Structure 1
């Protein structure tokens, strides 16, 4: 039998909070039937300027915590979690949009499926009054999490959740604003927490919404991308580099297949080479960041760009030979161009081959440097493992056979 703390962050919600608290008070029998030994309600008044705190204080079951000034949605939740006494934590908004009646079901599913975090999903096909703009935004965030995190959370910004208290240490730090929930979704994925979504109905809020779709949408996007950057940066850098590489390939192909009037379109070809070089550079940077992140968290290197290796041997292990090859190609290309007269003023684009040659040399130096750093970071990340292996190998060696001590000779007295 467990206990549950329900945290309600509230900011100027005098029109709705009474309804939320009445409905929470009414689900006590359902919570006990679900297997909870006890539960509590905590309202965190986040600097309200209306009667929100006064209304909440009138309920004897409510523990009211007040912020002197408005600190933000996420800050209010963190304050509530810090004062909560339950083994399980739940939260929902004070605007009457989320159904308190779904909390017993969230708890039952958390227990039966061994979940660390249960998300009440407004995108689960149940009755929902979510505005179309927010629904489109949630689809976009779900797609982004799928691409960057490899796991789908259909409602990454849901404000109704239930989680194990011990999961907080792995989910923190989290932001103080409305981007608290998308950041939590992304961190839960990368911390390998078991996340389960449960469809819930959703009603349009009572009173004016505090969510600004454009401004807060940008914050949600930043929270997801930045969280991924702190766990698997090659996903962000690598996909950006992959996109640039594809763009360069398409541009180069168009220049070859449809050169247009006037002969070879050298500017288009050079732009294609530059885009390919930038793509490879971004991938190398992301790979280095992944090794640094692995060293910081003391975890194995993540699989990288597509969640699994594309080659039998990781691409970063090929940086050194690739760099040397790129430098050799760049130097050879320039030598050939000089001998063939491609750098003379009479050539239509005397700048083209020297520029491509220089770019190949720079890219080669870039790859060589990245390869050296990757090797060094790999050594550092495996240092403790190798120390332990060497110590165990020494202990497992054949025991030293020492000579049996001979008894001292006894002198005979004359």
Structure 2
């Protein structure tokens, strides 16, 4: 256990961890509160999926933000991004205080925030890779992932409980305060800054981006990891997170507090997975874990979809959260191990492009559910995902499956 905490020997990580924690808590509280608000006020599952999709519209600009991070410094970029979160949360607080808040206003502000938000995970991972020594990297990635998973538990329960007890405006006062605390802690990080200028002129940002995309295309292990990330965002994440308000209210007949527990159960499983990965990840084979855990994720989600009992559904959702954590941490470890320091921001920015399939999957689900029903639409997405995962494993079998392959730490 002590070995798992070695990343905290790095000063920057001691500030980055609580900074990431504050930001993740605030964002998770917002997602749950606003998703429930949009569903209840509009009564439309399609509008709910549009809200969910808008959280990720910025995936298209994430690679360019990665280029910017390599140029101005990852710490500086994260600070600017987190200041914007506080500004957007303040706008929603103002609308709530003046009784001008509507589902359409939520969609507009969420769309603006969504231009930046998807890049946060990639940039914080790149900053960990830039500041934490290589021997501590697996443990640091597990601990970093724990900030998101614990935020999904605490943020879900706190957001649902605080909103139900006090209303929208008081909840957003707390959210703005947490965002500002995250900004302050981010500014205290002393690593991942811009490289010193050289006499030689730097290439254009577009050339930097092209180099990042070219590197992904030329590196089979990185390309396979990107393919898996793209696939699960399209077919698994919409059911794991985006549709939870609909599933809670219309499938399992739960209220807002029940939604909080549903989201927290998934996050609890993900937290357990992050802890286990932090403790034992250095001895595991990342490529094999990525594929095996992704398959388990699909199977467990199928059980969740078929569950009519809320306790059983929560148990299966927790197990799927653990599988998700193992798979996505393995993806991150593969990418960071395969990428040099000068390319890290760009590659993690390209990694965020995979999230673009999440809003696509959300919109597909939102359109299919009214036509075919929830169970048929959800099971079709999961079956398609499992089939495509098998295709990826076969296509890159010589890179991903042998124990001695570099992607497995061989």
**Pairwise TM-score range, normalised by the shorter structure:** under 0.3
Q: Structure 2 length normalisation: TM-score? A: 0.23
Structure richer in strand, relative to its length: 1
Rg larger in structure: 1
Report which structure shows greater RCO (CA 8 Å, sep ≥6): 2
Structure richer in helix, relative to its length: 2
